[in-house]
Structure 1
Amino acid sequence: MEMIGKSQEDIMMEIRDTNLNYLMLSQQMIRTDKVSAIYRLGVNQDIADLLEGLSNSQLIKLASSNVMLARFRFDDKAILGMLTSHTKGYAQALAHSSILMAGQAVEAIR
């Protein structure tokens, strides 16, 4: 299935670029404040340590995967609804969704 106006090669290049940006940002966050990065990225200590230690060539190689490395941290329609709500209670909905996501298990090395 091809997206209108985008070739498969274009999509793969965008995935690679997105992956590389995600990995570089993740590494920067981890190096700046590991505890906060672990929470914000939804990863565990082991994954954070691995990301922190990757060389530039390893980042590029990992980014070249044909799948998105970043993913939604939630599969719950209610959380997505809270995050996309633009009502008066948005700040409260954002806080509530953050609490719910913080309670979810982090990704683990399998």
Structure 2
Amino acid sequence: MTSSQILAEIREANVAYLMLAQALLRADRPAALQRLGLSSNAAQVIEQMTPTQLSRAASGNTLICSFSMDDELVWDLLTHHVPAAELPAAPPARNKPR
């Protein structure tokens, strides 16, 4: 992947994030603040951005959003998920004599 392709991907991710953030903020501001990890001031700026401002903000070479999951266990579960259909069947339960 070339550097121009990487920059295009970053811009695309930024636009998608800002549009999602605007939609979430307009639908349910308290939940959006919590889900996105935004301050009230940052949320207000994003919420009031025009499409031109959004495009301009997204066109930088820095990814605007960040991953909030920094727990190794969570990433391990996400990356090593085995669908239930692929899990081995559990042995039948036995009644223990008393």
- When normalised by structure 2's length, the TM-score is 0.73
Change (3 A) 1:31 1:67: same
Letter in 2 for 1:75: D
- Runs ≥4 in structure 1, deviation > 2 angstroms? 78-87
Alpha-carbon RMSD across the aligned residues, in angstroms, is 1.9
Equivalent residue in structure 2 for 1:54, among 46, 49, 58 = 49
Q: Give, in whole Å, the separation in 2 of the partners of 1:81 and 1:67.
A: 26
Structure 1 residue 84: Cα displacement: 4.5
Q: Which sections of structure 1, spanning at least 5 residues, go unmatched?
A: 1-5, 88-110
Equivalent residue in structure 2 for 1:27, among 22, 25, 49 = 22
Quote the sequence identity (%): 35
Equivalent residue in structure 2 for 1:18, among 6, 13, 27 = 13
Letter in 2 for 1:86: H
Is residue 36 of structure 1 aligned with residue 31 of structure 2?
yes
Q: Which sections of structure 2, spanning at least 5 residues, go unmatched?
A: 83-98
Q: Compare CA radii of gyration and give the structure with the larger one.
A: 2
Alignment coverage as a number of residue pairs: 83
- When normalised by structure 1's length, the TM-score is 0.66
Structure 1 residue 57: Cα displacement: 1.0
For 2:64, what is the secondary structure of its paired residue? coil
Structure 1 residue 83: Cα displacement: 4.5
